[in-house]
């Protein structure tokens, strides 16, 4: 009887035609909390990974306004990224030019584990790379490829003074001389690595300092220690079963996988002491030079690999329940939170206990020769039944942790010390990572937690089968988390970081100084504009300034030649880029910042006169900012000429050659 009543009640509530509560799940003052008046600034920059777009996007918080999509690993025809001659080398790899990747995680540079506002790092998940974005220009300054890696997922997390960013391989793969092995020999032949990429203190330039060889497992995420644990790095690992097929089943057989604890200071000592072995590899290191306005790509051939068996006290495993994803250190550096996505608890490890367990050799055997610390010996405690599918944890500065739960679509706030759940809120829907401004640092800025959601079914106006993903902003200034805003995002947001605007905006670059432009094809003034033939190349040294190109009439190009338009933007005024495009070019536009030179390559296929124009609105006479380039047959004797504002005599013979044709048509 009771069952029947319950059944009826549940049936009614399942109907899916009830009015939805989600839209109303905001408090009355939410609009005011997210509202940033026109002309006013947001309090935080939010650097958000673009996932399969390959890019990084920049939003303001709390408004959720999108300011910029920074092209990183994927070509971006809007900005000429990967299309201009200057930027193509940035996407070079040991596999050649790669036009796309999948950017999952962000690491902002830190000093003493606090944000310092210099650089943002992003990882390429597919063809393993790390990019450095300069926060002065909001542009990608450097990309380094990671050899001996396949799927750079556990990356680019950063040490306390930005000494290193790391790159742990998601896929273990065959390494060394014999790469062509049967896949079912995984357990014998497949190995992993974690790489430490050194960062120059001043320039930010990255260099592959050393790699640590690991068993053939999968690395997921990572975090450096802080404070007392600052010399350590913690990597979550899954597939300790070493499965190579149907991981959905076979990589969740064991009750515990691992968090790998690496004493990176010790590893650094070993590397300096020559303990490693230099392995022959091939990887690209690409740098963008803001003086030549050009990128270079260098292929490098060597990496130092440390083997834990030759380097005692460097690597330990800590058991962690069921396929840990997040592996996050709290602001004090004492607690390490593992989030096993298939686990029913959240284990919190204690760094003091880790040190004690190592000192006492309190091991639970070995895994591929690496000591496994006893779970109970390193455990601070477990958050019991916190939710379903814990993924990732960030922190406020008040001793609280915020963990995302994918399966139960919620954020749970809990106390790090007593492990008690304090609050929970639903997300709409299926949260992945979350972000507290400064949440991974020793000094969280707090105030908000942002959920990055994978699914938005019915949350916005529908757009066909593919819906936007979303960010949701919650106010965490009180005891209870309060939903304030949700907003759509670019690509698939995975991890993101937020930093006070005050740390970035004062450094934001306005122009590139013309007198510092060292581009070899720059025309630093209209008088320097010219057109030159070099073999079968035509080089146009072109300038653009409101509102004309110099030259804007070019003749004498022959079929078979490639035309390089080197366009220098002579403007020295903030927010006045010029664009450039030519009809029929199998290429993108150029988007040239003030003081910068960029080059578009074009190989015309047919004789004729081609228009070209400025593509980025620059002035009231933007529409007049245009020109022509004439292409003649291969054997033509039309001389190479160029001009702006005058019609040259050279135009006459050309007109004469067309005269007979005109006559013939009048007969």
Partner 1 sequence: MKKIFNLVLIGTALFLGSCTNSTSTDTPAPAADAPAGGGQEAVQDDVSQKDVVKVAVGSPDHTTLVAALKQAELVSSLANAGPFTVFAPTNAAFEKLPAGTVDGLMKDDKKADLQNILQYHVTTSALDTKFLTDGMTLGMVNGDNLTISVKDGKIVLNGTATIVGSVRASNGWVHVVDGVLLPPAKK
- Footprint on this chain of partner 1 (rule: CB under 8 A): 2-3, 6-7, 9-22, 24-28, 246, 248-249, 252-253, 255, 321-322, 341-345, 385, 388-389, 406-409, 425-426, 428-430, 454-455, 457-458, 483
The distance of closest approach from Cβ of residue 445 to partner 1 in the complex, given in angstroms and rounded to an integer, is 25
The distance of closest approach from Cβ of residue 220 to partner 1 in the complex, given in angstroms and rounded to an integer, is 16
Length of the chain: 667
Q: Which residue, 430 or 632, is less far from partner 1 as judged by CB?
A: 430
* Burial class of residue 96, CB neighbours in 10 A (0-12, 13-18, 19+): exposed
Q: Which residue, 15 or 665, is less far from partner 1 as judged by CB?
A: 15
The C-alpha angle with vertex 543 and arms to 540 and 549, in degrees rounded to 5, equals 95
Q: Which residue, 135 or 411, is less far from partner 1 as judged by CB?
A: 411
Maximum CA pair distance of the chain?
Answer: 105
The distance of closest approach from Cβ of residue 261 to partner 1 in the complex, given in angstroms and rounded to an integer, is 24
**Helix H or strand E segment including 119:** strand 114-124
The distance of closest approach from Cβ of residue 350 to partner 1 in the complex, given in angstroms and rounded to an integer, is 22
**Helix H or strand E segment including 320:** strand 315-321
* Burial class of residue 291, CB neighbours in 10 A (0-12, 13-18, 19+): exposed
Q: Which residue, 483 or 612, is less far from partner 1 as judged by CB?
A: 483
Cα(523)–Cα(399) distance, integer angstroms: 58
Cα(58)–Cα(309) distance, integer angstroms: 43
> Could you tell me which of 53, 41, 38, 54 has the C-alpha nearest to residue 466?
53
| Chain centroid offset of residue 349 CA | 29
Q: Which residue, 20 or 112, is less far from partner 1 as judged by CB?
A: 20
Q: Which residue, 407 or 501, is less far from partner 1 as judged by CB?
A: 407
Please give the radius of gyration of the chain, using alpha carbons only, rounded to the nearest integer.
Answer: 29
The distance of closest approach from Cβ of residue 363 to partner 1 in the complex, given in angstroms and rounded to an integer, is 23
- Using CA atoms in the order 417, 423, 428, 434, what is the torsion angle rounded to 10 degrees? -20
Q: Which residue, 407 or 607, is less far from partner 1 as judged by CB?
A: 407
The distance of closest approach from Cβ of residue 323 to partner 1 in the complex, given in angstroms and rounded to an integer, is 9
CB 521 within 8 A of CB 564: yes
The distance of closest approach from Cβ of residue 364 to partner 1 in the complex, given in angstroms and rounded to an integer, is 18
**b/e string for 253-281 if b means 16 or more Cβ within 10 A?**
eeebbbbbbbbbebbbebbeeebbeebeb
CB 124 within 8 A of CB 130: yes
Cα(149)–Cα(127) distance, integer angstroms: 9
Q: Please, how many CA atoms are within 13 Å of residue 308, restricted to the half-sphere of its CB?
A: 24
Cα(263)–Cα(371) distance, integer angstroms: 13
The distance of closest approach from Cβ of residue 23 to partner 1 in the complex, given in angstroms and rounded to an integer, is 8
CB 100 within 8 A of CB 107: no
Q: Which residue, 18 or 606, is less far from partner 1 as judged by CB?
A: 18
Q: Which residue, 21 or 535, is less far from partner 1 as judged by CB?
A: 21
Tell me, what DSSP letter sits at residue 272? H
Cα(238)–Cα(307) distance, integer angstroms: 20
> Could you tell me which of 331, 328, 326, 327 has the C-alpha nearest to residue 114?
331
Q: Which residue, 318 or 483, is less far from partner 1 as judged by CB?
A: 483
Q: Please, how many CA atoms are within 13 Å of residue 175, restricted to the half-sphere of its CB?
A: 25
The distance of closest approach from Cβ of residue 6 to partner 1 in the complex, given in angstroms and rounded to an integer, is 4
User: Partners of 410 in the beta sheet?
Assistant: 405, 426
The distance of closest approach from Cβ of residue 376 to partner 1 in the complex, given in angstroms and rounded to an integer, is 13
The distance of closest approach from Cβ of residue 576 to partner 1 in the complex, given in angstroms and rounded to an integer, is 46
The distance of closest approach from Cβ of residue 359 to partner 1 in the complex, given in angstroms and rounded to an integer, is 29
User: Partners of 44 in the beta sheet?
Assistant: 61, 500
Q: How many C-beta atoms surround the C-beta of residue 658 within 10 A?
A: 9
Q: Which residue, 8 or 657, is less far from partner 1 as judged by CB?
A: 8
Q: Which residue, 248 or 479, is less far from partner 1 as judged by CB?
A: 248
Q: Which residue, 18 or 534, is less far from partner 1 as judged by CB?
A: 18
**Helix H or strand E segment including 187:** helix 186-189
The distance of closest approach from Cβ of residue 431 to partner 1 in the complex, given in angstroms and rounded to an integer, is 10
């Amino acid at each position: 009887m009771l069952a029947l009543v319950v059944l009826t009640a549940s049936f009614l509530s399942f109907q899916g035609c009830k009015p939805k509560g989600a839209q109303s799940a905001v408090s009355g003052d939410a609009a005011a909390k997210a509202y940033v008046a026109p002309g006013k600034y947001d309090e935080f920059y939010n650097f958000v990974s673009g996932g399969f777009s390959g890019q990084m996007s920049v939003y303001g918080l709390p408004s959720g306004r999108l300011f910029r999509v920074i092209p990183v690993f994927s070509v971006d025809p809007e900005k000429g990224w990967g299309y201009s001659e200057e930027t193509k080398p940035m996407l070079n790899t040991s596999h050649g030019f790669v036009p796309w990747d999948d950017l999952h995680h962000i690491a902002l540079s830190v000093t003493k584990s606090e944000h310092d506002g210099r650089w943002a790092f992003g990882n390429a998940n597919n063809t393993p790379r790390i990019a450095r974005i300069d926060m002065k220009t909001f542009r990608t300054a450097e990309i380094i490829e990671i050899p001996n890696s396949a799927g750079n997922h556990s990356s680019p997390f950063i040490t306390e003074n930005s000494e290193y960013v790391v790159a742990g391989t998601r896929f273990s793969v065959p390494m060394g001389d014999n790469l062509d092995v049967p896949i079912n020999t995984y357990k014998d032949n497949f190995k992993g690595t974690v790489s430490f990429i050194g960062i120059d203190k001043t320039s930010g330039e990255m260099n592959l300092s050393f790699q640590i060889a690991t068993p053939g497992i999968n690395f997921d995420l990572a975090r450096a220690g802080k404070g007392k644990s600052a010399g350590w790095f913690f990597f979550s690992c899954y597939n300790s079963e070493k499965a190579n097929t149907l991981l959905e089943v076979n990589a969740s057989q064991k009750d515990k996988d691992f968090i790998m604890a690496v004493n990176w200071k010790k590893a650094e000592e070993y590397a300096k002491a020559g303990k490693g072995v230099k392995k022959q590899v091939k990887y690209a290191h690409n740098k963008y030079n803001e003086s030549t306005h050009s990128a270079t790509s260098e292929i490098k051939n060597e990496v130092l690999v440390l083997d834990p068996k030759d380097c005692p006290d460097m690597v330990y495993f800590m058991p962690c329940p069921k396929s840990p994803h997040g592996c996050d250190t709290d602001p004090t550096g004492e607690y390490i939170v593992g989030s096993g996505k298939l686990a029913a608890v959240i284990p919190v490890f204690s760094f003091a206990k880790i040190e004690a367990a190592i000192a006492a050799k309190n091991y639970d055997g070995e895994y591929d020769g690496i000591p496994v610390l006893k779970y109970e010996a390193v455990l601070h405690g477990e958050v019991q039944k916190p939710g379903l599918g814990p993924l990732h944890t960030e922190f406020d500065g008040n001793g609280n942790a915020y963990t995302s739960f994918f399966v139960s679509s919620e954020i749970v706030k809990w106390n790090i010390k007593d492990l008690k759940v304090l609050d929970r809120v639903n997300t709409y829907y299926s949260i992945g990572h979350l972000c507290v401004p400064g949440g991974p640092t020793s000094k969280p800025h707090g105030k908000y937690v942002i959920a990055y959601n994978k699914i938005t079914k019915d949350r916005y106006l529908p757009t066909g089968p593919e819906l936007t993903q979303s960010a949701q902003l919650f106010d965490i200034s009180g005891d209870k988390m309060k939903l304030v805003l949700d907003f759509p995002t670019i690509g698939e947001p995975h991890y993101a970081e937020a930093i006070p605007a005050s740390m970035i905006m004062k450094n934001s670059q306005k122009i590139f100084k013309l007198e510092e432009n060292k581009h070899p094809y720059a025309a630093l003034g209209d008088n320097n504009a010219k057109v030159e033939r070099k073999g079968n190349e035509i080089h146009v040294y072109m300038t653009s300034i409101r509102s004309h190109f110099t030259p804007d009439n070019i003749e004498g190009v022959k079929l078979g030649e490639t035309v390089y338009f080197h366009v220098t933007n002579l403007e020295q005024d903030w927010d006045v880029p010029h664009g450039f495009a030519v009809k029929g070019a199998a290429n993108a536009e150029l988007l040239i910042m003030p003081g910068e030179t960029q080059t578009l390559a074009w190989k015309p296929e047919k004789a004729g006169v081609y228009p070209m124009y400025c593509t980025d609105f620059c002035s009231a006479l933007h529409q007049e900012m245009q020109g022509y380039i004439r292409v003649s047959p291969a054997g033509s004797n039309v001389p190479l000429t160029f001009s702006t504002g005058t019609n040259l005599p050279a135009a006459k013979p050309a007109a004469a050659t067309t005269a007979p044709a005109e006559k013939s048509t009048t007969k």
